[in-house]
Amino acid sequence: GAVVSQHPSRVICKSGTSVKIECRSLDFQATTMFWYRQFPKQSLMLMATSNEGSKATYEQGVEKDKFLINHASLTLSTLTVTSAHPEDSSFYICSATGTSGGSSYNEQFFGPGTRLTVL
């Protein structure tokens, strides 16, 4: 299967600061990347979908100016939580699908997640 990495795995920041989370596809070209948010004991909540080189498509209720997504290359997407507040504390997980060696994946592969704590 394809490998997706995320960095950092944990981050603690002060209220009002911005935090950037990186998501990388290690052995395939991620044409589409997804960002999810997950609260304790709850399911995955899709925040946005991004295609390489295009603007991200945000789900209803997700503030695009608050959660900036950049997908500038086929192996890297970033999520920046701007002016973070305690209510932004959560587990953020990226996911990707794409191609490898000319074949397309029909599955989504997930990163290990980033635990954000805003004090």
* Choice between 77 and 95, CB closer to other proteins: 95
**Whole-number Cα distances in Å, 67 to 1, 84, 104, 105:** 29, 10, 28, 27
* Among positions 28, 35, 58, 109, the unique one binding other proteins when judged by CB under 8 A: 109
Q: Is 6 in the site for other proteins (CB under 8 A)?
A: yes
Q: Is 4 in the site for other proteins (CB under 8 A)?
A: yes
Positions in 25-44 near other proteins (CB under 8 A):
32, 34, 41-44
Which residues would be at the binding site for other proteins (CB under 8 A)? Answer: 1, 4, 6, 32, 34, 41-44, 46, 49, 91, 93, 95, 97, 106-113, 115
